[in-house]
Amino acid sequence: MIHNLVGNCPVCGDDMIITSLKCPSCETTISGKFKLDKFSRLKKEHLEFIEVFVKSRGNIKEVERELGISYPTVRNKLDEVIHALGHDIEQSPDDEMAEKRKEVLKRLENGDISAAEAVEELGEI
């Protein structure tokens, strides 16, 4: 039985290393210490998302349709993958405005502000 590669230690979370490689055809074995690439350390769900994203040629509508998720969920999953690959995500002005709107609506939902105050704050964003 062949198992999938585990990129992070299940005990401490540190990066794993490969210590041997074996050819299944001729039985040649190479031993040593080999680093995993950053894709090998991604979670299974990140790899599955990347596969759908690439197969869809980055067309978010296609990704939405195939995974049965909304545009914001596709964006969130893409941001998770970008972050997991070690890259910083810069928020666009639209993203910042959406975050501010969410904060206002959350405060309204929690009863921290009235509906009138929420309308006023949303109008200022």
- pLDDT tens-digit map of 7-21: 888 899 888 898 999
Read off φ and ψ for residue 112, nearest 5 degrees: -75, -25
**What DSSP designation does 15 have?**
B
* pTM attached to this predicted model: 0.58
The domain in which residue 102 lies consists of 93-124
- pLDDT tens-digit map of 17-76: 989 999 999 999 999 998 888 888 888 999 999 999 999 999 999 999 999 999 889 999
Instruction: Say whether both 33 and 46 belong to one domain.
Output: no
Instruction: Say whether both 53 and 80 belong to one domain.
Output: yes
Domain count, the chain: 3
